[in-house]
Amino acid sequence: MTKPNPMDEILKISDKLPMVVLEDINKRIGDWMAMGGQYTDPYIEQQLRFARRFGEITLGED
């Protein structure tokens, strides 16, 4: 089974996040990529977890 691409997952939930959060995630991922990172690195997965947690806290989702 193929592991989901964390960037695709971030895009799927992006409409549920405030612009300031998306800008922060975008900046962090951009910096990571500029340093030679890949979209499939654990750091990108960490950004996805942050986005999901933020959505749960602000939207009251489980």
Question: Contact 48/54 with Cβ under 8 angstroms?
Answer: no
Tell me what pLDDT residue 60 has.
61
Task: Report the C-alpha gap between 27 and 61 in whole angstroms.
Answer: 25
Tell me what pLDDT residue 32 has.
97
Instruction: State the maximum Cα–Cα separation within the chain, in Å, rounded to a whole number.
Output: 36
Q: Which pTM does this prediction carry?
A: 0.82
Dihedral pair phi/psi, residue 40, rounded to 5° = -100, 5
**pLDDT beneath 70, residues of the chain:** 1, 58-62
Question: Contact 9/24 with Cβ under 8 angstroms?
Answer: no
Task: Report the C-alpha gap between 52 and 34 in whole angstroms.
Answer: 24
* pLDDT tens per residue across span 17-30: 999 999 999 999 99
